[in-house]
């Protein structure tokens, strides 16, 4: 699954770079993305020096040096492994509201061509959990409160030792900001995600499963494995 997704993402990158001078893409930080990223960084023929990278969310209140910090996770898995034209990291310190304004401005300098994302156990995309997801959000980037299912997932993913260690807030790209990208590649492995995948594919379009809105995007590809396939 990860190799198939990486091959498709590489093909889309090469295609974009054949038509335009540069590409802007957003990456999700999560263990579910690790296999795909491991394969992507080895794909041949991509002019990474023409690619600008962003990431889609970051905790508020996590030590900048902590491995759980999403920018640090992405540094280890992709940002420092490829010669990007630029990497724009979300840095909540010292002023999260000022960072939201800065990051929104960077995102809006030009279209976002590609996004690599996943789906949370609760159906979230980025950190748009069911209680805070808004399909008509007027903002591009905002601070959100993380629900307990999302926070427990971070423990189950071995990103934090216990629930009390998981932050309650994060900066995230909003649902409309994600949907404005040209291509979405959504990688969702594992049995723990089967219910979320089922609701994404077959449930109502509802913020009860924020990922369900991906069905409205004209160029979103979903990658699942045997464990996450609700129809297997």
| Per-residue pLDDT, 190 | 96
- Given a cut of 90, whether residue 125 has pLDDT beyond it is yes
- Look at residue 232 and tell me if it is in a domain: no
Distance CA 230, CA 196 (A): 9
What's the pTM? Answer: 0.96
| Per-residue pLDDT, 220 | 98
Domain harbouring 51, CATH code? 3.40.50.1360
- Look at residue 230 and tell me if it is in a domain: no
Distance CA 191, CA 169 (A): 27
- Look at residue 104 and tell me if it is in a domain: yes
- Look at residue 227 and tell me if it is in a domain: no
| Per-residue pLDDT, 232 | 86
The region that residue 223 occupies, defined by phi over 0 for left and psi between -120 and 50 for alpha, beta otherwise, is beta
- Look at residue 80 and tell me if it is in a domain: yes
Neighbours of 119 (CB within 10 A): 27
Neighbours of 65 (CB within 10 A): 7
- Look at residue 76 and tell me if it is in a domain: yes
| Count of domains for the chain | 1
Compute the average pLDDT of residues 78-96: 97
- Look at residue 164 and tell me if it is in a domain: yes
Compute the average pLDDT of residues 81-93: 98
| Per-residue pLDDT, 39 | 98
Q: List all residues 6 or more positions away from 103 whose beta carbon is below 8 Å from its beta carbon.
A: 54, 88, 90, 141, 171
Range of the domain at 82: 1-203+214-221
């Amino acid at each position: 699954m990860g190799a198939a997704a990486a091959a498709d993402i590489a093909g889309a990158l090469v295609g974009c770079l054949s038509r335009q001078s540069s590409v802007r893409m957003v990456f999700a930080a999560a263990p579910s993305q690790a296999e795909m990223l491991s394969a992507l960084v080895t794909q041949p023929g991509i002019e990474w020096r023409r690619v600008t990278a962003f990431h889609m969310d970051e905790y508020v209140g996590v030590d900048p040096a902590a491995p759980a910090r999403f920018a640090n996770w992405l540094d280890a898995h992709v940002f420092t492994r490829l010669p990007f034209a630029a990497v724009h990291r979300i840095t909540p310190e010292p002023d999260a509201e000022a960072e939201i304004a800065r990051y929104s401005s960077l995102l809006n300098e030009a279209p976002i061509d590609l996004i690599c994302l996943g789906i949370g156990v609760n159906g979230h995309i980025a950190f748009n959990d069911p209680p805070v997801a808004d399909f008509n959000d007027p903002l591009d980037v905002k601070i959100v409160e993380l629900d307990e299912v999302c926070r427990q997932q971070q423990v189950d993913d071995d990103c934090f030792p216990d629930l009390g260690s998981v932050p309650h807030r994060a900066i995230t790209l909003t649902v409309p900001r994600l949907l404005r990208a040209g291509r979405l590649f959504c990688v969702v492995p594992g049995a723990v995600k089967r219910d979320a995948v089922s609701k994404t594919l077959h449930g109502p379009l509802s913020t009860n499963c924020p990922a369900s809105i991906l069905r409205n995007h004209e160029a979103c590809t979903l990658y699942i494995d045997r464990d996450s396939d609700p129809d297997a």
